[in-house]
Chains A and B, each alone.
Chain A
Amino acid sequence: MSLIEKTAAELLALQASGQATAAQIADAFLASIQAREPKVRAFMLVNEADVRKQAEAIDAKRKSGVKLGKLAGVPVAVKDVLCTQGMRTTCSSKMLEHFVPPYDAHVVERLRAEDAIILGKTNMDEFAMGSSTENSAYQKTTNPWDTTRIPGGSSGGSAACVAACEAPVSLGTDTGGSIRQPAALCGIVGVKPTYGRVSRYGLIAFASSLDQVGPFTHDVTDAALMMEVISGHDKRDATCVDAPVPEYTKTLNTPVSGLRIGIPKEFFDDGLDPEVGAIVEASLKQYEAMGAKRVPISLPNGSKLAVAVYYIVATAECSSNLARFDGMHYGHRTKQKADLIATYSKSRGEGFGKEVQRRIMLGTYALSSGFASKYYLKASKVRRVIKNEFDAAFEQCDVILGPTSPTPAFKFGEKTDNPLAMYLSDIYTISCNLAGIAGMSIPCGFTKANLPVGLQLLSPAFDEDRMFRIARMYEAATQWHTRRAVV
């Protein structure tokens, strides 16, 4: 097995035992990027010279006997929505084509503090709005399992680069499924932490009450490790909770006894691809074989209405957050001569892509005088109804299991002209963000066409440690996480 197919934990062990250096690891991934990127197109930016410099610094630090961080010498790819000091950050938008952040996002600071190597910035749907990464203003990232198909989105670049072994781990963001859905479609692990678990400082905001940063990894061990590094209090994000971070990697291999798995019947209704359904059902049987008890539950609103609530709440928040892109302080300013208001409108008309404009429009309308109560207020009330459904469900079960995505990866262009069809590809993931709970996707099988399928685990808020144990139980009994795409 070559270096590029290793997990972060394996790369750490190889360095600790002297079998590999950080520089060798960096070179292996840079070579992989060079070979595979023409097909995968996951990266917006890779600064080779800087990556080598970072790696050599880690090797020197190791030689000098200084204690190294938890991710020493591990290359990490970062979604281009997270600010990186001195490193262009575009949100895959023309609006931020030349934007170079003057500071690091909190999660990037945490990676650097633990001696990780920032490998590069990854492609995404513009401003994280989309489910296929086709909304990038720059390039179409492909699915490493079948390059005629989309990788999922919005964190498609971060998912594809790990699946293609161009990076061992990466960071993405999840507002309605943007980590879990691409993880599922690319056959890897993706975690959406509890709202407030990870600081959003330096994350370019889409919908502030829904956004969370989380990792993509090959397996659950690496996910736990990454979460240990990025979680925890940061006073620069007023919604980041001041609660101790459990050592997830220490408890990971302890199975949960008397496990009760909640199965929402609505997640298996019409709309679920039968082949995906059968693969997910087999994974539920695997849990039962390990002693878990199946608990039928119901999330009537959390399934059917989540998408409708989301496309009001998220667009309302986005219309407010994206008001900052006015062409004055940073970002695109129109070259046309115009007065102040027209300069705003032209800059935004030129700088934002179609989906971003559509969502700003929808959110502006949903908040406008005379319609705010019909749309935003109503959606906010149904949001609480959905949260109450989850609270009631978790009285009866420890974790909720089901498919992450209703279908495997679809073809390019299949849904681009039908926004609603695209939105419905997040039908199982969105309610988790609305309720603010934790969720993750783990690989649970492949279709006959060799496309990966993901199993979604949803757990109560701040219960990541148990969610990882439950995910690891399945992983330890199966081999899906060891498969690597051939690019």
Chain B
Amino acid sequence: MSLTVEQVKKVAALARLELSDADLAKMADQLNAILGYVDQLEAVNTDGVEPMAHPLPVQNVFRDDVPVPSLPVDAALQNAPNRLADFFGVPAVFDTDEPVSH
């Protein structure tokens, strides 16, 4: 089974990546080569093997629910692509004719 350019386009949409048609075609070839290599995994018998998501037996780390100092507003906003007062300026989330400031 190999990925078609259409499927690659769908994955790109899921990943929120805008790719040119030429890039999509090249990406399909490269992903198929890598996935072909990955298919070796199917030969390993993993019946009854617990999946391992993490090298350590990690547990939730709790702390008391008390306020602690956080980044000052100016520091938190210093890298904002579009600062509007003390907020991050973003394109409209819902359909609107309002102009979007960039």
User: What are the interface flags for A234-254 relative to B under an 8 Å C-beta threshold, 1 for contact and 0 otherwise?
Assistant: 010011010000000000000
Closest to A357 in B: B17
B52 within 8 Å of A by Cβ? yes
- Known interface pairs A304-B40, A342-B18, A379-B41. Does A98 touch B79 (Cβ–Cβ under 8 Å)? yes
> Closest Cβ of chain A: how far from B45's Cβ, in Å?
9
B34 touches A328 (CB 8 A): no
> Closest Cβ of chain A: how far from B42's Cβ, in Å?
7
Q: Which of A166-174, A343-351, A470-478 contacts B (4 or more CB under 8 A)?
A: A343-351
CB contact between B15 and one of A333, A340, A361 (< 8 Å): that residue = A361
A339 within 8 Å of B by Cβ? yes
Q: Which of A32-40, A116-124, A381-389 contacts B (4 or more CB under 8 A)?
A: A381-389
A67 within 8 Å of B by Cβ? no
Contacts of B18-65 to chain A: CB distance below 8 A: 18-19, 23, 27, 30-31, 33-35, 37-38, 40-42, 44, 46, 49-56, 58, 60-61, 63
B85 within 8 Å of A by Cβ? no
A480 within 8 Å of B by Cβ? no
> Closest Cβ of chain B: how far from A339's Cβ, in Å?
6
A341-B60 Cα distance, complex, nearest whole Å: 33
A285 within 8 Å of B by Cβ? no
CB contact between A385 and one of B31, B40, B44, B88 (< 8 Å): that residue = B44
A383-B12 Cα distance, complex, nearest whole Å: 27
- Known interface pairs A102-B71, A343-B91. Does A362 touch B54 (Cβ–Cβ under 8 Å)? no
CB contact between B27 and one of A102, A209, A358, A379 (< 8 Å): that residue = A358
B44 touches A419 (CB 8 A): no
A357 touches B19 (CB 8 A): yes
> Closest Cβ of chain A: how far from B34's Cβ, in Å?
6
Which interface class (under 10, 10 to 19, 20 to 34, 35 or more) fits B? Answer: 35 or more
CB contact between B17 and one of A333, A361, A375, A436 (< 8 Å): that residue = A361
> Closest Cβ of chain B: how far from A143's Cβ, in Å?
26
Most chain A CB neighbours (cut-off 10 Å) among B15, B46, B56, B76: B15
Closest to B51 in A: A380
> Closest Cβ of chain A: how far from B38's Cβ, in Å?
5
Q: Which of A215-223, A264-272, A308-316 contacts B (4 or more CB under 8 A)?
A: A308-316
Closest to B52 in A: A384
A304-B82 Cα distance, complex, nearest whole Å: 48
- Known interface pairs A238-B58, A330-B79, A358-B30. Does A381 touch B91 (Cβ–Cβ under 8 Å)? no
B18 touches A348 (CB 8 A): yes
A371-B70 Cα distance, complex, nearest whole Å: 40
A368-B13 Cα distance, complex, nearest whole Å: 12
For A362, the chain B residues whose CB sits under 8 A away are 31, 34-35
CB contact between B44 and one of A239, A301, A434 (< 8 Å): that residue = A301
For A434, the chain B residues whose CB sits under 8 A away are 55
A423-B35 Cα distance, complex, nearest whole Å: 13
A239-B75 Cα distance, complex, nearest whole Å: 26
> Closest Cβ of chain B: how far from A250's Cβ, in Å?
26
B11 within 8 Å of A by Cβ? yes
A382 touches B17 (CB 8 A): no
B79 touches A99 (CB 8 A): yes
- Known interface pairs A239-B56, A420-B33. Does A368 touch B14 (Cβ–Cβ under 8 Å)? yes
A319-B16 Cα distance, complex, nearest whole Å: 10
A361 touches B18 (CB 8 A): no
Closest to B3 in A: A365
CB contact between A209 and one of B50, B54, B80 (< 8 Å): that residue = B54
A400 within 8 Å of B by Cβ? no
> Closest Cβ of chain B: how far from A43's Cβ, in Å?
22
CB contact between A381 and one of B14, B19, B33, B49 (< 8 Å): that residue = B49
For B76, the chain A residues whose CB sits under 8 A away are 102
Closest to A354 in B: B23
A350-B16 Cα distance, complex, nearest whole Å: 12
A450-B81 Cα distance, complex, nearest whole Å: 48
Closest to A342 in B: B18
B75 touches A102 (CB 8 A): yes
Contacts of A191-250 to chain B: CB distance below 8 A: 195-196, 209, 235, 238-239, 241
B8 within 8 Å of A by Cβ? yes
A332-B53 Cα distance, complex, nearest whole Å: 31
A297-B11 Cα distance, complex, nearest whole Å: 41
> Closest Cβ of chain B: how far from A271's Cβ, in Å?
14
A305 touches B55 (CB 8 A): no
- Known interface pairs A312-B38, A343-B91. Does A358 touch B31 (Cβ–Cβ under 8 Å)? yes
> Closest Cβ of chain B: how far from A311's Cβ, in Å?
6
A102-B49 Cα distance, complex, nearest whole Å: 43
A107 within 8 Å of B by Cβ? no
In the complex, the 10 A-B pairs of residues with the closest C-beta atoms, listed nearest first: A436-B55, A330-B79, A349-B18, A380-B51, A333-B81, A381-B46, A384-B52, A102-B75, A345-B18, A364-B15
25 pairs across A/B with beta carbons < 8 Å? A102-B71, A102-B78, A195-B55, A238-B58, A330-B79, A330-B80, A337-B100, A338-B91, A339-B92, A340-B91, A343-B91, A345-B16, A357-B17, A357-B19, A360-B17, A361-B17, A364-B11, A365-B11, A368-B11, A379-B38, A384-B49, A384-B51, A385-B46, A387-B55, A435-B55
